[in-house]
């Protein structure tokens, strides 16, 4: 099972990725993890990527594709893999296709922006323990206080409404075009194109999971 998981930040991709990984026994591959591993291992591509990142630049697509090819050749990818946050752009998707990296499914977890803003901006965290709450869906017993210690809860910077909206804007601008790119390929009947699946991510986590599995033929 080789698949790409698409969806806006906060759509619930991480949760669904865990279900998919467990069911199919495949690794989740993110470009961030790959870059860190290559830099740590001191591979030629890793060293090149490090030099670019140290200079504050964006790592070129050819380096990313090279890392992807190296990564999916490893033993744990024998049964497939799950790409999370890759490809991010159409040039990356095209380069991956040209490199002969085949994908079985593209799964989009679809959640409207206003729902994501509501989900994320309502999160509160107890940083020492990692416990999280939501002001609306999972409130603490005492407003603003951790249930166990009574200490203050905080809103992480990543969860602030303006930050969430900025991240969504970047997603719509850069990555959402991939949804159309893969949907068009599937509609055109391209035999090498991955099957495209769209699931409503506003449903219960288990319902989303079951619909994803049904679409994947599990």
| C-alpha to C-alpha distance for 75 and 72, rounded to whole angstroms | 8
Helical (H) or strand (E) element with 162: helix 161-170
Please tell me which residue in 40, 60, 156, 184 is annotated as part of the active site: 156
Active site residue 36: no
Please tell me which residue in 21, 69, 88, 165 is annotated as part of the active site: 88
| C-alpha to C-alpha distance for 90 and 179, rounded to whole angstroms | 10
Owner of token pair 């099972």: 1
Please tell me which residue in 165, 167, 195, 198 is annotated as part of the active site: 167
Please tell me which residue in 13, 119, 124, 209 is annotated as part of the active site: 13
Token pair recorded at residue 49:
């990527």
Active site residue 71: no
Active site residue 124: no
Active site residue 119: no
- Give which of 135, 139, 160 is closest to 10, Cα–Cα: 160
Please tell me which residue in 2, 71, 119, 123 is annotated as part of the active site: 123
- Give which of 91, 106, 104, 131 is closest to 197, Cα–Cα: 106
Active site residue 13: yes
> Can you count the helices (H) and strands (E) in the chain?
9, 7
Q: Is the dihedral of CA 20, 22, 24, 26 positive or negative?
A: positive
Residues identified as active-site:
13, 88, 123, 156, 167
């Amino acid at each position: 099972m080789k698949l790409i998981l698409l969806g806006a930040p906060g759509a619930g991709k991480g949760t669904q990725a865990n279900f998919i990984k467990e069911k199919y026994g495949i690794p989740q591959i993110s470009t961030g993890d790959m870059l860190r591993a290559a830099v740590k291992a001191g591979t030629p591509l890793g060293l090149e990527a490090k030099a670019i990142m140290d200079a504050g630049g964006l790592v070129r697509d050819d380096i990313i594709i090279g890392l992807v090819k190296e990564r999916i050749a490893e033993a744990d990818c024998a049964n497939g893999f799950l790409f999370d946050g890759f490809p991010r752009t159409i040039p990356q998707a095209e380069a991956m296709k040209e490199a002969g990296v085949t994908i079985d499914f593209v799964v989009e977890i679809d959640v409207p922006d206003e729902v994501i803003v509501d989900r994320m901006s309502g999160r509160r965290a107890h940083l020492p323990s990692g416990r999280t709450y939501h002001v609306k869906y999972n409130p603490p017993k005492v407003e603003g206080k951790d249930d166990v210690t009574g200490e203050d809860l905080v809103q992480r910077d990543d969860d602030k409404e303006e930050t969430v909206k900025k991240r969504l804007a970047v997603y719509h601008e850069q990555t959402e075009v991939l949804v159309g790119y893969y949907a068009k390929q599937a509609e055109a009947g391209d035999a090498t194109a991955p099957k495209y699946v769209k699931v409503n991510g506003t449903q219960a986590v288990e319902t989303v999971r079951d619909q994803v599995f049904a679409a994947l033929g599990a």
